[in-house]
């Protein structure tokens, strides 16, 4: 029987073929159905009149209780990567450190404005957060003690360049439930071409020394690698294989859209190359997983996890909703990339979150209110794009996002048939933070 090869796409449905047959992705509710391959698109679409009430009803979200807060404990860095959107953590201002008093107030604010039944996350960001190691340590102790006293579950994350890792950090990340995300861009040559220490020396060598500490003294609960991809990066599969060989639990790619150096930012045509490279990595992951081997390609794992749980949401991430980020003085912003941007100011840890600002943000950001997103089949998986990137660059990667999600849907169906137990396992193992978006 001939496979259905046409793809009919409108704003409510996306039809796609796999080696298993023909399928339709119904946008509202992120539902996937098998279809007879001979069924025409017109017949298929006729089967799916809108279900009422809709899962997503065009009503903006009311600001929920907060569940996650990131602390910019060091608005400074010991590196100066060419593509850094954060101005090495300074966000256009002065280098500065968060005091322990502000960090503790952030913990208290999270406890005060969260749902007692929901697990909480505290993230340490920068700049390079380990420049303020003592505050990371003391805040972790304090948050753990307050959580215990108030009967709350709490876990931690840190995003670091790993060039300053010491034994005491590794012990802290092992003693408490930490996700550690490390920035690395490839092998020594690739990484050091753009990620150098402030004195010009190799950051790769230091990072490898940090990873060695994890090997000797134990890894944290989850050790992730974050690869920043520029138009100059080249093939991604060798990078993925190399970084996986270093012992990470997961490796994910993110394209540069915002950078002080325009030559390092993606144009629409760069996304065509990026998509081809991502598909090569995706196909490799598919083969490995289907054969029963582990291959922790983070972008694919995230997409699988969201598709499997049937995620449908009218926002790209939790920014301004259940997730906020505090600057060094305790002022709150929608997220860690929007630090010190008055357009995304949302209160302070001392005075409380600004409900009016959060309400206005969520009302304006609903994906169904935005062109061209309201005509896009991917909108309840993508959410309309990262607020920071859309503000600075507009929506330049939409064909990439849809192409990648189309592949992920196909891969999900094929793997569900070949290894159904994989999704039971991976859904338990892969943590999705409230800041996660499928689009980056």
Q: Which residues of the chain form contacts with ligand SF4 (CB under 6 A)?
A: 316-317, 319, 335, 337, 367, 372-373, 376, 378-379, 382, 384-388, 395, 398, 401-402, 435, 437, 439-440
Give the nearer residue to ligand SF4 in terms of CB position, either 154 or 324.
324
Q: What is the smallest separation between the CB atom of 173 and ligand SF4, expressed in angstroms?
A: 22
- Token readout for 175 is 């003693």
Give the nearer residue to ligand SF4 in terms of CB position, either 207 or 435.
435
Give the nearer residue to ligand SF4 in terms of CB position, either 147 or 255.
255
Is residue 331 a contact partner of residue 75, using CB atoms and an 8 Å limit? no
Angle subtended at Cα 58 by Cα 56 and Cα 59, rounded to the nearest 5 degrees: 100
Q: What is the smallest separation between the CB atom of 395 and ligand SF4, expressed in angstroms?
A: 4
Query: What is the Rg, in whole angstroms, of the alpha carbon atoms belonging to the chain?
Result: 22
Residues paired with residue 357 on neighbouring β-strands, in sequence order? none
Q: What is the smallest separation between the CB atom of 394 and ligand SF4, expressed in angstroms?
A: 9
Q: What is the smallest separation between the CB atom of 312 and ligand SF4, expressed in angstroms?
A: 12
Give the nearer residue to ligand SF4 in terms of CB position, either 180 or 415.
180
**In 61-70, which positions are buried (b, 16+ CB within 10 angstroms) versus exposed (e)?**
bebbebbbbb
Angle subtended at Cα 61 by Cα 328 and Cα 334, rounded to the nearest 5 degrees: 15
Is residue 146 a contact partner of residue 105, using CB atoms and an 8 Å limit? no
Q: Which of 416, 401, 439 is nearest to 32 (CA)?
A: 416
Q: What is the smallest separation between the CB atom of 159 and ligand SF4, expressed in angstroms?
A: 11
H or E element at residue 16: strand 13-18
Give the nearer residue to ligand SF4 in terms of CB position, either 123 or 220.
123
Q: What is the smallest separation between the CB atom of 323 and ligand SF4, expressed in angstroms?
A: 6
Q: What is the smallest separation between the CB atom of 178 and ligand SF4, expressed in angstroms?
A: 19
Give the nearer residue to ligand SF4 in terms of CB position, either 79 or 334.
334
Is residue 13 a contact partner of residue 380, using CB atoms and an 8 Å limit? no
- Cα(185)–Cα(233) distance, integer angstroms: 9
Give the nearer residue to ligand SF4 in terms of CB position, either 337 or 358.
337
Q: What is the smallest separation between the CB atom of 147 and ligand SF4, expressed in angstroms?
A: 23
Q: What is the smallest separation between the CB atom of 382 and ligand SF4, expressed in angstroms?
A: 3
Give the nearer residue to ligand SF4 in terms of CB position, either 128 or 169.
128
- Token readout for 257 is 């859209």
Q: What is the smallest separation between the CB atom of 338 and ligand SF4, expressed in angstroms?
A: 6
For tokens 């970084």, what's the residue?
243
* Other C-beta atoms lying within 10 Å of the C-beta of residue 390: 18
The upper half-sphere exposure of residue 93, i.e. CA atoms within 13 Å in the direction of its Cβ, equals: 16
Give the nearer residue to ligand SF4 in terms of CB position, either 329 or 368.
368
Whether the bond between 372 and the residue before it is cis, its omega within 30 degrees of 0, is: yes
- Cα(150)–Cα(397) distance, integer angstroms: 44
List all residues 6 or more positions away from 47 whose beta carbon is below 8 Å from its beta carbon: none
- Cα(419)–Cα(393) distance, integer angstroms: 40
Give the nearer residue to ligand SF4 in terms of CB position, either 66 or 172.
66
- Cα(325)–Cα(343) distance, integer angstroms: 14
């Amino acid at each position: 029987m001939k496979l259905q090869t046409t793809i009919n796409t409108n704003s409510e449905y996306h039809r796609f073929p796999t080696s298993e047959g023909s399928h339709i992705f119904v946008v509202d509710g992120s539902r996937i159905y098998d279809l007879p391959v001979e069924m025409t698109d017109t017949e298929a679409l006729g089967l799916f009149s809108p279900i009422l009430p809709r899962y997503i009803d065009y009503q903006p979200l009311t600001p929920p209780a907060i569940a996650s807060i990131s602390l910019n404990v060091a608005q400074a860095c010991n590196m100066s990567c060419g593509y850094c959107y954060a101005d090495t953590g300074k966000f256009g201002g002065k280098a500065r450190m968060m005091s322990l008093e502000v960090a503790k107030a952030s913990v208290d604010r999270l406890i005060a404005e969260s749902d007692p039944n929901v697990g909480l996350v505290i993230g340490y960001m920068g700049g390079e957060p380990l420049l303020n190691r003592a505050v990371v340590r003391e805040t972790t102790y304090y948050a753990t003690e307050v959580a215990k006293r108030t009967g709350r579950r709490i876990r931690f994350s840190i995003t670091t360049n790993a060039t300053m890792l010491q034994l005491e950090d590794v012990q802290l990340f092992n003693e408490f439930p930490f996700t550690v995300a490390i920035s690395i861009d490839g092998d020594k040559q690739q990484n050091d071409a753009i990620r150098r220490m402030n004195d010009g020396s190799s950051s790769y060598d230091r990072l490898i020394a940090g990873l060695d500490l994890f090997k000797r003294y134990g890894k944290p609960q989850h050790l992730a690698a974050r690869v920043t991809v520029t138009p100059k990066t080249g093939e991604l599969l060798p990078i993925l294989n190399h970084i996986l060989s270093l012992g990470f639990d997961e490796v994910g790619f993110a394209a540069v859209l915002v950078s002080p150096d325009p030559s390092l930012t993606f144009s629409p045509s760069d996304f065509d190359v990026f998509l081809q490279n991502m598909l090569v990595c995706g196909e490799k992951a598919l083969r490995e997983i289907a054969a029963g081997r582990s291959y922790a390609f983070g972008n694919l794992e995230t997409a699988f996890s969201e598709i499997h749980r049937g995620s449908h949401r009218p926002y790209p991430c939790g920014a301004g909703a259940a997730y906020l980020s505090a600057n060094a003085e305790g002022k709150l912003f929608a997220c860690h990339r929007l630090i010190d941007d008055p357009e995304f100011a949302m209160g302070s840890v001392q005075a409380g979150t600004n409900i009016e600002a959060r309400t206005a943000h969520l009302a304006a950001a609903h994906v169904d209110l935005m062109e061209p997103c309201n005509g896009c089949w991917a909108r309840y998986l993508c959410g309309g794009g990262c607020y920071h990137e859309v503000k600075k660059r507009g929506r330049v990667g939409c064909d990439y996002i849809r192409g990648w999600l189309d592949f992920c849907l196909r891969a999900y169906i094929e793997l569900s048939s070949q290894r159904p137990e994989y999704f039971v396992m991976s859904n338990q193992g892969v943590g999705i933070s409230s800041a996660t978006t499928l689009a980056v």
